[in-house]
Structure 1
């Protein structure tokens, strides 16, 4: 077992198991914080046509093009900003929900009108890397440059500096440290291990970690993911929502719902989001919030006692 210099396990598998529960710190006595995250990756997927080393291979199709541009894959990704985006923001607008648009830097440069529109609607624009790629095993100098470039691109497109970060899948061992060193980041979402936020001491600074989720996520519409019909998405996520709402009667809980323009934005799937929003909006004690709002609420309520 790998241990830190202080002798403790480098992995925290215990969490708050033996600690007193934290009461929900959400405003107006709300019990459950619900965070919708819209991943904006279109135009940032790997593409030989854009000078990248290879073409993206992760989507609903499995026909990788090894050499030259993959025009089929590019067209599938293009569906998101061309059509899916408008359906998603219309569903949010109907229920007054503000989401976090987790955006790749290269996508923000290519989709300035989309980012400007989302920001004008009150949605948060956060960072999702420069390209849609993992950061695991990146050299620290390369990763630091990517973080800086992404932060600048999002600020330019949104008109306000971003405060959040989420790496596609695996971050590097130093991603969190580099985010804090860059400055300007309040939180990251590079963990999947809990149903409530936490404060971590990173380089002497209180940094908020907001867990994300791959199960309550439209990525499960991909082959083998388990979602086929729009109702599959609604039923599963609504089940998680109802369970966390019950648990939130006694301690703090948040629910992350991951969306993608090119996935849930399809005509056969958008009803899954619309019906889920209707179910959630009918319940009392729910706080629909951006991740920045959740991070600030958690920091203000618990920063004095890092966990």
Structure 2
């Protein structure tokens, strides 16, 4: 695998966002509930990571399933209400099996103007997956989400590690315009005509998990706002994009949702910020930086 450790160093592109915005902000809501590994669903093991880490082997784990159930039952409504209050549109990065379990949620998110993208079939890494299996997983996920959402998805993000062939398979599939399987920049970049939109694990509510560093709501909002302010300042002269990662079952908790509301209020008070679904960011980048047709 080729590694590029230089990136745009010494030649960072100028801003290109609509209406002269100096920063593109992408909120990503991960929809994984119902797609976590579960022996009860026929998987070979149960998911072992939540806010508590406990591995139940060989038998179904109703406790873990109940933890994941909180997101769609309560968290989702709090999150979309916060977005609606500020006119913000997000990307709902959705596992195929979760979409099958939550068609009402997917349809509601589309109705509100949000993007639905692909997050794998199950909530799992693709590391070590053989090419034919992965090709099938990509096709199945895309077809299922397109059918349920009523809009064909154009973006992909794998949980944790991809395989070496993931991006090539996404390009081969022909319906994906971007992927978020990178964490190496604050600027989008191109691989041919395919856009890579780097994602981030630091400005992400996953850090409320054990050992992640976030405990109180203000831990999340303070950290995210600090990142926003830095990128906003840099965006006066060079292209900058910020990703903020969310999960239904994490930020949607009563003691945490205020953090998302605080971040949205802070961003909304700043001029020259473009909050957009990732498909719009990818298309804008391709239009300004892609090869002429």
Q: Same fold (TM over 0.5)?
A: yes
Q: How does 1:142-221 map to 2 (within 5 A)?
A: 142-201=133-192, 206-221=193-208
Q: 1:300 aligns with which of 269, 287, 291?
A: 287
Quick one: distance in 1 between partners of 2:14 and 2:152? Answer: 30
Identify the match of residue 79 of structure 1 among 70, 73, 89.
70
TM-score by length of 1: 0.94
After superposition, the C-alpha distances for 1:180-227 in whole angstroms (9 at most, x for unaligned) are 1111100000000000100112xxxx1000000000000000011000
Misfit runs of 4+, over 6 Å = none
Q: Give 2:19's aligned residue.
A: 28
Distance 1:142 1:95 in 2: 41
- Once residues 119 and 157 of structure 1 are traced to their aligned partners in structure 2, the CA distance between those partners, rounded to angstroms, is 10
Alignment size in residue pairs: 292
Equivalent residue number for residue 60 of structure 1? 51
**Corresponding position of 1:18:** 10
Match of 1:281 among 246, 252, 268: 268
Structure 2 unaligned segments of length 5 or more: list them.
none
> TM-score, with normalisation over the residues of structure 2?
0.98
**Aligned match for 2:107, one of 111, 116, 136:** 116
Q: Name which of structure 1's ranges 149-158 and 60-69 shifts more when overlaid on structure 2.
A: 60-69
Q: CA deviation at 1:62?
A: 1.8
1:80 positional shift: 0.3
- Tell me whether 1:99 sits opposite 2:90 in the alignment: yes
Post-superposition Cα deviations, 1:129-161, rounded to whole Å, max 9, x if no partner, equal 000000011100000000000001110111010
Distance 1:193 1:243 in 2: 17
Distance 1:153 1:233 in 2: 33
5+ residue gaps, structure 1: 5-9
- Distance in 1 of aligned mates of 2:222 and 2:104: 33
* Cα shift at 1:22: 1.1
1:24, distance to aligned residue in structure 2 (A): 1.0
Residue 7 of structure 1: aligned partner = none
For 1:39 and 1:228, locate their aligned partners in 2 and report how far apart those are by CA, in whole Å. Answer: 20
- Does the residue aligned with 1:179 lie in a helix, a strand or coil? helix
Q: Give distance in 2, aligned partners of 1:33 and 1:158.
A: 25
